[in-house]
């Protein structure tokens, strides 16, 4: 049987994803969250796992360097990658939200300034609403932007809301629920359909 390559995201959901892989019955002896290795194989070498940054998983899958990817919906949406999204693993559940100071009142018809790590998701959301915006791309501490007047609002991932509350910010609107998903390269889905479907079915059983 032809080998399939699985791109696995490093970071927060990695531990749960590795645990889920073990439940499928496929064992990767050297694969741990702390490992510095980047390539792993299961016992019969039928599955190769590459361990990459979460933001890069959709690119590896879209370009065919990996047949399958397991990564957060946030990275899939932001990448705009042309891949099949076939399974919700229900790991790392949180949401994309618009947040800001509850008493902030922008002028009517004003172009809003939105600070975010996810410009594509923010643009798509406000375009649907017909609201013109200017994006300020930040890579961290996005909550600071409305506090110091850098932006009217932020678009970010909200899990517990504690960081927002501690900075006197509120969720003003939810955009989309996100969690860890399984994505598949479109060509691989046609040429390795048996292996891909077998792996997906193993994951489905492990999730039950």
**Residue 92 tokens, joined:** 């790392």
In whole numbers, what is the pLDDT of the chain averaged over residues?
Answer: 93
Q: What's the confidence (pLDDT) of residue 139?
A: 94
The greatest distance separating any two alpha carbons of the chain, rounded to the nearest whole angstrom, comes to 63
Note the pLDDT of residue 149: 94
Query: Would you say domain 94-177 falls under CATH 3.40.50.300?
Result: no
Would you list the DSSP string of the chain? ---EEEEEE-STTHHHHHHHHHHTT---TT--TT----EEE-TTSSEEEEEE-GGGHHHHHHTTS-SEEEEEHHHHHHHT---EEEEE---S-EEEEEEE-TT--PPTTPPEEEEES-HHHHHHHHHHHT--EEEEE-SS-TTHHHHTTS-SEEEEEESSSHHHHHTT-EEEEEEEEE-EEEEE-HHHHHHTHHHHHHHHHHHHHHH-
Q: Which residue has the higher pLDDT, 18 or 119?
A: 119
CATH of domain 4-93+179-207: 3.40.190.10
Domain map (residue ranges) of the chain? 4-93+179-207, 94-177
pLDDT at residue 34, as a whole number: 78
Tell me how far apart the alpha carbons of residues 166 and 58 are, in angstroms, rounded to a whole number.
33
What are 50's strand-pairing partners? 7, 39
Q: What is the pLDDT of residues 41-74, one digit of tens each?
A: 999 999 999 999 999 999 999 999 999 999 999 9
Instruction: Specify the pLDDT at position 71.
Output: 95
Band (134; pLDDT cuts 50, 70, 90): very high
Give yes or no for residue 36 having a pLDDT over 90: no
* pLDDT score at 15: 84
Pairing of strands 153-158, 4-9: unpaired
Q: How far apart are CA 124 and CA 117, in angstroms?
A: 14
Rounded CA-CA distance 28/23 in Å is 11
Judge if 4-93+179-207 and 94-177 fold alike in CATH terms: yes
pLDDT more than 70, % of the chain: 100
Measured CA to CA, the distance from residue 208 to residue 196 in angstroms comes to: 19
**DSSP string of 142-169, one letter each residue:** TTHHHHTTS-SEEEEEESSSHHHHHTT-
Is the pLDDT at 30 greater than 90? The verdict is no
pTM for the full predicted model: 0.88
The pLDDT of residue 92 is above 90: no
Where residue 176 falls (left for φ over 0; alpha for ψ -120 to 50; beta otherwise) is beta
Q: Say whether pLDDT at 190 is over 90.
A: yes
């Amino acid at each position: 049987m032809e080998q399939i390559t699985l791109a696995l995201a490093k970071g927060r959901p990695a531990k749960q994803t590795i645990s889920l892989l073990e439940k499928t019955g496929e064992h990767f002896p050297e694969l741990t969250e702390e490992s510095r290795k980047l390539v792993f194989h299961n016992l019969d070498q039928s599955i190769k796992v590459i361990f990459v940054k979460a933001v890069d998983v959709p690119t590896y899958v879209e370009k065919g360097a990996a047949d399958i990817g397991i990564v957060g919906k946030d990275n899939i949406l932001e990448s705009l990658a042309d891949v099949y999204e076939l399974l919700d693993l229900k790991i790392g559940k949180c949401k994309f939200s618009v947040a800001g100071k509850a008493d902030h009142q922008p002028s009517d018809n004003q172009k809003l300034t939105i600070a975010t790590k996810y410009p594509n998701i923010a643009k798509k959301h406000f375009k649907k609403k017909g609201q013109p915006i200017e994006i300020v791309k930040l890579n961290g501490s996005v909550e600071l932007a409305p506090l110091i007047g850098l932006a009217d609002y932020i678009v970010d991932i909200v899990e517990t809301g504690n960081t927002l509350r501690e900075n006197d910010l509120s969720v003003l609107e939810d955009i989309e629920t996100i969690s860890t998903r399984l994505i598949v390269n479109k060509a691989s889905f046609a040429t390795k359909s048996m292996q891909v479907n077998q792996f997906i079915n193993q994951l489905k059983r492990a999730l039950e």
